[in-house]
Structure 1
């Protein structure tokens, strides 16, 4: 379990780092070149690492459901949406909203057992946890609003 926790923490830090890199590329190249570059380099890196680690087993893809192959297409949407949201909202707010969305949809998919997942019964405790996180993001985004407005009004009077 500890390895899983460490891997999840590492994944979160890498997603944050990747989104900052993607945002910088997007500023200079635009959305679709950024998406092509990110996914193209990701393909190349995973292909080469897969060859080194798995060897010929990398190409053994029996018993794969057809719809599993569409994950890469979903990745195009993820990268394109993230780089454009980061441009509009900034990294912290974007990643916070994405995290809430991931939790909400994971809760739905688990609760209904969609996409072959084992059904995990929905509880109010789970909903409460998601709502606490969403509340935290709203507090983060709008909590300093009153202070910022009063500082601005004070400067205008001076």
Structure 2
């Protein structure tokens, strides 16, 4: 259980990091080029590591149903939507909305036993847990003002102003005005 917990924490951190990197590439190249690069590099890395670690066994797919392979198409939506969300909302708010959405979706899928999942009871405790996370996200967003300034602490508007001051396109300047 501890190992699964740690792996999930690492995955969450990597998703946040990847999302920020993707938005920076998107600022230079556009959504479709970024999505192609992200998924293409991911394919190359997965194939290489899979062959090294599992060899030919990684292609044992005789028990897989055809609809399982649509996850790659879903990945296009994930990358594109997160990049656009960051552009419009800033990284922290976009990622927190994404995580809340994932949690609600997973809870519905689990509680209904859809897509071949083992059905898990929707208990009041699980529902309250999801609501607490969503409420925390709202508190974070609504309380996201810099102390004493009345201005948002971060987000796309602040980043665009920083980029403009540095003479860079929006989405490619860090909070200190340097290119990233």
Q: TM-score, normalised by structure 2?
A: 0.80
Task: State whether structure 2 residue 39 is matched by structure 1 residue 39.
Answer: yes
Q: TM-score, normalised by structure 1?
A: 0.90
Q: Which residue of 1 aligns with 2:139?
A: 139
User: Which structure: greater helix fraction?
Assistant: 1
Task: State whether structure 2 residue 113 is matched by structure 1 residue 116.
Answer: no
Q: Which residue of 1 aligns with 2:63?
A: 63
Aligned length: 151
For each residue in 1:96-141, what CA deviation from the matched residue of structure 2 results, as whole angstroms up to 9, or x when unmatched?
0001001101010001000000110111211111111111111111
Q: What is the alpha-carbon distance in structure 2 between the residues aligned to residue 73 and residue 22 of structure 1?
A: 17
Aligned Cα root-mean-square deviation (Å): 1.6
- What secondary structure, in the 3-state scheme, does the structure 2 residue paired with 1:62 have? coil
In the TM superposition, residue 143 of structure 1 has moved relative to its aligned partner by: 2.0
Q: What is the alpha-carbon distance in structure 1 between the residues aligned to residue 148 and residue 97 of structure 2?
A: 22
Unaligned runs of 5+ in 2: 152-180
Q: Which residue of 2 aligns with 1:4?
A: 4
Unaligned runs of 5+ in 1: 153-158
In the TM superposition, residue 148 of structure 1 has moved relative to its aligned partner by: 6.1
In the TM superposition, residue 46 of structure 1 has moved relative to its aligned partner by: 0.1
In the TM superposition, residue 61 of structure 1 has moved relative to its aligned partner by: 1.0
Moved over 3 A (4+): none
In the TM superposition, residue 70 of structure 1 has moved relative to its aligned partner by: 0.4
For each residue in 1:3-40, what CA deviation from the matched residue of structure 2 results, as whole angstroms up to 9, or x when unmatched?
11110111011111101110100000000100000000
The 1:148/1:129 distance shift into structure 2, 3 A limit, reads farther
Q: What is the alpha-carbon distance in structure 1 between the residues aligned to residue 96 and residue 55 of structure 2?
A: 38
The 1:7/1:42 distance shift into structure 2, 3 A limit, reads same
